[in-house]
Chains A and B, each alone.
Chain A
Amino acid sequence: MSAGHAEQPAAVRLRQLEERVLAAGLATDAELDAVLARLYAEASPLNGARIVARAWSDPGYAGRLLADGNAAAAELGFDTAHAGSGYRLKVVANTAGTHNMIVCTLCSCYPVSLLGPSPSWYKSLAYRSRAVREPREVLAEFGLLLPPDTQIVVWDASAENRYLVLPARPAGTGTLAEEELAALVTRNGLIGTAAA
């Protein structure tokens, strides 16, 4: 007989942590449930994809996005400045000669509301330690083979400063509408482990 979900070590540890939070009066059960419900209902890479598609379609928006990520995200209804404890959203743009890639070496910081819950590899020790040391090799393992002369910039995030990659608009998409462009953007593209 397999153990039930509640018997899994991670679930047990999570419940113990929740009980400590409740006992300390830091939050109520209802508040914790509400945070999780909102996370699962609203946090999605579709949000980041909408931001990218708007930037690809509107050079003025792209400029504002790179200058002030929080304000530009708010233009589309995404409140990153006040999500949780709030953070600075910095958007970094891929160009013909530069590729950006996001990591959080000390934990797994990342703009959850715009990218959805983080993939398990993003939290893995292997990714966190290798991304800053040999990003070209790591990207190749993701299937992203960059030209040798492409400059790679790795951004090591913190809770206060979180990053989103603005991929380069794919060739041959000049006639696509914004919604169609958004469908081309993936979560990995927003982290920088895919071209778009």
Chain B
Amino acid sequence: MTLSPGTRVRARLADPDHHTRLPGYVRGQTGEVVEVAGQWPLPDDRARGITPPRVETVYTVRFPAAGLWGSGTHSVVVDLWESYLEEAG
């Protein structure tokens, strides 16, 4: 999966028992890819001592505040590993 800037994506709703860098406040929310932020080891794997950890593309994703909180005109930008995301279509 390669997501180009402008692609609409949805953060997964998963709520794992282990450490993750998918913040709760974006789970299930729809945003837009701003850019690719490189390839990085998956924190979920590193925190569990899984070697080697999966290395994934990280995407910079912009979420409108109105979607996250029901109000607000700002936007919040979060760097999310590929497995945290699905295409929103």
Which of A136, A151, A156, A161 is in CB contact (< 8 Å) with B23?
A: A156
Least Cβ–Cβ distance between B6 and chain A, in angstroms: 17
Contact call A88/B21, Cβ cutoff below 8 A: no
With a CB–CB cut-off of 8 A, which chain B residues contact A153?
62, 74-77
Number of interface residues of B (CB under 8 A): 21
Q: How far is the CA of A154 from the CA of B68 in the complex (A)?
A: 13
Contact call B38/A160, Cβ cutoff below 8 A: yes
Which of B37, B40, B75 is in CB contact (< 8 Å) with A154?
A: B75
Interface size class of A (residues with CB under 8 A): 20 to 34
> Which of B25, B62, B72, B77 has the most C-beta atoms of chain A within 10 angstroms of its own C-beta?
B77
List A124-157 residues whose CB lies under 8 Å from chain B. 132-136, 151-157
Given contacts A106-B21, A106-B23, A160-B38, contact A151 B78 (CB under 8 A): no
Q: How far is the CA of A4 from the CA of B31 in the complex (A)?
A: 50
List B15-55 residues whose CB lies under 8 Å from chain A. 21, 23, 25, 37-38, 40, 43
Contact call A134/B38, Cβ cutoff below 8 A: no
> Which of B38, B62, B68, B76 has the most C-beta atoms of chain A within 10 angstroms of its own C-beta?
B76
With a CB–CB cut-off of 8 A, which chain B residues contact A156?
23, 76-79
With CB as the reference atom, state the residue of chain A lying closest to B80.
A158
List A141-183 residues whose CB lies under 8 Å from chain B. 151-161
Tell me the number of A-to-B contacts counted with CB atoms below 8 Å. 55
Contact call A160/B68, Cβ cutoff below 8 A: no
Contact call B74/A136, Cβ cutoff below 8 A: yes
Q: How far is the CA of A70 from the CA of B53 in the complex (A)?
A: 24
Contact call B23/A88, Cβ cutoff below 8 A: no
Q: How far is the CA of A140 from the CA of B37 in the complex (A)?
A: 31
Contact call A161/B79, Cβ cutoff below 8 A: yes
With a CB–CB cut-off of 8 A, which chain B residues contact A105?
23, 25
Which of A88, A134, A135, A152 is in CB contact (< 8 Å) with B37?
A: A88
With a CB–CB cut-off of 8 A, which chain B residues contact A154?
74-77
Is A90 among interface residues, defined by CB-CB distance under 8 A?
yes
Contact call B73/A151, Cβ cutoff below 8 A: yes
Contact call B75/A161, Cβ cutoff below 8 A: no
Q: How far is the CA of A156 from the CA of B44 in the complex (A)?
A: 18
With CB as the reference atom, state the residue of chain A lying closest to B26.
A156
Least Cβ–Cβ distance between B32 and chain A, in angstroms: 13
Given contacts A90-B37, A106-B21, contact A160 B58 (CB under 8 A): yes
With A152-B74, A157-B79 known, 7 other A-B pairs at CB within 8 A are A106-B23, A132-B68, A151-B74, A158-B21, A158-B43, A161-B60, A161-B79
